[in-house]
Structure 1
Amino acid sequence: MPAPRLVDRNPEIAAEELVAALVPPPRFAGVRFGTYIPNPAEPTQAAAVTSAEQFARSVGVVRRQGLFNRVFSRRVPEPAPGLYLDGGFGVGKTHLLASIWHAVPSEAKSYGTFVEITHLVGALGFAEAVRRLSTHRLLAIDEFELDDPGDTTLVTRLLTELTDAGVHVAATSNTLPDKLGEGRFAADDFVREIRALSARFTVVRVDGPDYRHRGLPDAPDPLTDEQIDARAEAIPGSTVDDFGALCAHLAKLHPSRYGKLVADVPAVHIKGLHAVPDQDVALRMVALADRLYDRAIPVAVSGESLSALYTDEMLRGGYRKKYLRSISRLTALARDAGVTGFDRRG
């Protein structure tokens, strides 16, 4: 019997399911501040843990006004502060963000990637998204990026509304707030919006090398198609897809559905990997790689090496950091595939 394929899956996500899914993904379900191990050679990492812990405690403090102030004062309250964890990929920013979420005692909190939050707004409508999220104490946003002018305007409005309503926002990104959108679109036309957005955050820098590759070998060499089939057969429920067909299928799905696309898949196998043909396909592969990494799903490929997935031109462009993060995560998953399933050594 042929192995199942991702291209045969067409997941749908209802609006209520989108709201319920706003929690840290499986890989980060058990992380806490105490499980983050700072690199001793990078003092910003230990400092970032302290800042994140302080921020989580501030979220747990409910600001109260006295009766006189509530009745007679017309002063508009200050917006809730935000925390922005900035740094390269593989330094543990997502670990810290999820730790903040876990440390906040309130159940009224949400956690999602940037693309999941923007899709939630699209599914619910702006006013309804603000109504639901404004009742929360915390909104945690991972992989914060502004890839087009529409996102810039939407997110600026959303975060302004939410922080004015008292929602604390924590975010991670590879780009400083006032540099968001740089190299991707005409950011100069949106300087006011970007500056207004950055003013809502305290920036905490997290430096260091990519922990996923610290002292480890490069990605495994690509397998043959026959080896792919043998591995997939040895891992019941794992998928096998042709790379070109998979890319075409991803184009039919909103990236917010990629998580459900790979849900409960024990391993993903891809035949005929090659450099992506254009930026649109590249960004979809970034989103898929993130969702595979979130769920710790091993990945094995045939064809070209994972390091060839994005062209040199792409790696020099405005999305450079996204592509490097994607290669880093896929490489880690490819190593996982080498110690699971068909050729496991124990």
Structure 2
Amino acid sequence: MQTVEQLYNQRVEQGRLKADPAQQSALPSLERIRAAVAEPAKRGFFRKAPEPPKGLYLWGGVGRGKSMLMDLFVDTLNVPARRVHFHAFMQEIHAEMHRLRSDGVEDPIKPVAKAVSDAVRVLAFDEMQITDITDAMIVGRLFEQLFDAGCVVVTTSNRVPDDLYKDGLNRQLFLPFIDLLKDRMEVRELASDRDHRQDRLAGSQVYFTPANAEARSQIDVLWNELTHGQEEPLVLHVKGREVELPRFHNAAARASFFDLCGRALGPADYLKLAECVRILIVEDIPRLSRQNFNEAKRFVTLIDALYEARVKLIASAAAQPEMLYVEGTGSFEFERTASRLREMQGVEWGMADS
């Protein structure tokens, strides 16, 4: 089996990666975990199971290669492992807890944690962030049980552990979880000067018109560059409702205009989306007019939310921004949106400021 360093160097030689000293400095931490879990368990009635290795909490800015390193690490494992976006994992946990409560189980965290630890030895989470009080109130007990069962956790995050759930409601109840992370995991910053996702998008077209097969093909290329062929749905919880985006990976999401503006979504939904993604691909934006006035209003609200959060936007549309909405109520107000769409096409827009 390859070591993490060997696989990294191989991909550099193949031209799939660019060597980065900050990334290379994190490889020994990942290799420590890989080597430890690769050791065969000593069997025997009186033998105590070996202590699992400390996990890894890898944090740093957007585009530094955290998720790539985690994927690389998972590719070297020879034990049951699961790589999943943290938000998606927590939604699964909540759904299973709800099912068990419906079946009369008073404390569902224990059986839920046991099911997870029975299935995998290593949990690899992408983008650990906690903004929801329902997550904040259960992660401490959940992770304590996972750690005690021998699960090894590797996670990426844009935040240092002490900033998780910052300013959240009843945060004092959450603080023991931060202590647990720091006790059971090595905390390491990936402090690269380079934004590799910005590098991949540098010089790339980000606004495509018309929205035809050629535009979709070019967007497919960008999407594969950003996700390396891995994706899952993203479910946003907004004021008791669920808003699902069909395609998501590593803080990048892809959806159609109809997905985002053809449904009865509002400012809170778009603000939540802008909080959870750093790159958004919106496809098949149509011409706007009095015939689709409600969709046009939602689109304006969406662009405002993305603009204020400096989310990188990639889009395909029926026309250039200035020609998307040329007649009907709201066309004058749309001039600001068109201007923002132009500004968001700039090379320096978005991720460099994240």
Aligned-pair distance for 1:114? 1.1
> Is 2:274–2:306's contact at 8 Å kept on the other side of the alignment?
no
Alignment of 1:150-299 (within 5 A): 150-208=134-192, 209-214=194-199, 217=202, 227=209, 230-232=210-212, 254=242, 257-259=244-246, 269-270=256-257, 278-285=267-274, 287=276, 299=283
Structure with the greater alpha carbon radius of gyration: 2
State the partner residue of 2:74. Answer: 101
Choose the corresponding residue for 1:310, options 306, 311, 325.
306
In 2 relative to 1, CA 78–150 (structure 1 residues): closer, same or farther, beyond 3 Å?
Answer: farther
Contact 1:90-1:211 at 8 Å conserved across structures: yes
Amino acid at match of 2:270: V
1:131 lines up with 2:109 in the alignment? no
Pairwise CA distance, 1:168:
0.8
What does the per-residue CA deviation read over 1:85-119, in whole Å, with 9 as the maximum and x for residues that have no partner?
A: 1110101101111111111112x211111111111
What is the correspondence of 1:320-335 to structure 2 with a 5 Å cutoff? 323=309, 327=311, 330-331=312-313, 333-334=314-315
* 1:207/1:157 CA distance change after superposition, 3 Å: same
* Residues 122 and 190 of structure 1: CA distance in aligned 2, closer, same or farther (over 3 Å): closer
Q: Does the 8 Å contact 1:91/1:210 carry over to 2?
A: yes
Aligned pair in 2 of structure 1 residues 104, 234: CA closer, same or farther (>3 Å)? closer
Verify the 8 A CA contact 1:111 1:140 in the aligned structure 2: yes
Q: Deviations over 1:115-165 (max 9, x none)?
A: 111111122223443222112111111110111332123222221111111
Match of residue 290 from structure 2: none
Contact 2:126 2:156 in 1 (8 A): yes
Structure 2 Cα separation of the partners of residues 236 and 218 of structure 1: 18
Q: In structure 2, what is the Cα distance between the partners aligned to 1:67 and 1:128? A: 25
Q: Which has the higher contact order (CA 8 A, sep 6+)?
A: 1
Deviation at 1:277, TM superposition (A): 6.5
Match of 1:116 in 2: 88
TM-score of the two chains, using structure 1 as the length reference: 0.59
**Aligned pair in 2 of structure 1 residues 289, 101: CA closer, same or farther (>3 Å)?**
same
Q: Is the 8 A contact 2:33 2:53 kept in 1?
A: no
How far the C-alpha of 1:232 sits from its partner, in A, is 3.4
**Amino acid aligned to 1:33:** Y
Q: State the AA in 2 paired with 1:115.
A: H
Structure 1's unaligned 5+ residue stretches are 1-31, 71-75, 240-248, 313-322, 336-346
Deviation at 1:195, TM superposition (A): 1.6
**1:146 alignment counterpart:** 130
Distance of aligned partners of 1:261 and 1:59 in 2 relative to their CA distance in 1, 3 Å threshold? closer
TM-superposed CA distance for 1:309, in Å, is 3.8
1:218–1:78: structure 2 CA closer, same or farther, 3 Å change rule?
same
| Partner of residue 56, structure 1 | 34
Q: 1:211-254: CA deviations, max 9, x gaps? A: 1223965885766xxx4xx3236568999xxxxxxxxx996974
Structure showing the higher strand proportion among its residues: 2
Distance (whole Å) between structure 2 residues aligned to residue 91 and residue 33 of structure 1: 15
| Distance across 2 between alignment mates of 1:193 and 1:217 | 39
Please provide the CA RMSD for this pair.
4.2
Contact 1:138 1:167 in 2 (8 A): yes
Following the alignment from structure 2 to structure 1, what is the Cα–Cα distance between the partners of residues 282 and 51? 46
Return 5+ residue gaps in structure 2 as ranges: 1-6, 12-16, 98-108, 220-235, 287-298, 317-354
Structure 2 length-normalised TM? 0.58
Letter in 2 for 1:116: A
- Structure 2 residue 61 is matched with structure 1 residue 88: yes
| Aligned residue number for residue 24 of structure 1 | none
- What letter matches 2:257 in structure 1? I
Distance across 1 between alignment mates of 2:85 and 2:59: 15
Q: Is the 8 A contact 2:246 2:255 kept in 1?
A: no
Q: Match for 1:54: what amino acid?
A: R
- Residues 230-287 of structure 1: CA distance to partner in whole angstroms, max 9, x if unpaired? 3236568999xxxxxxxxx9969746x534699xxxx8553999xx964542223555
The separation in 1 between residues aligned to 2:248 and 2:185, in whole angstroms, is 33
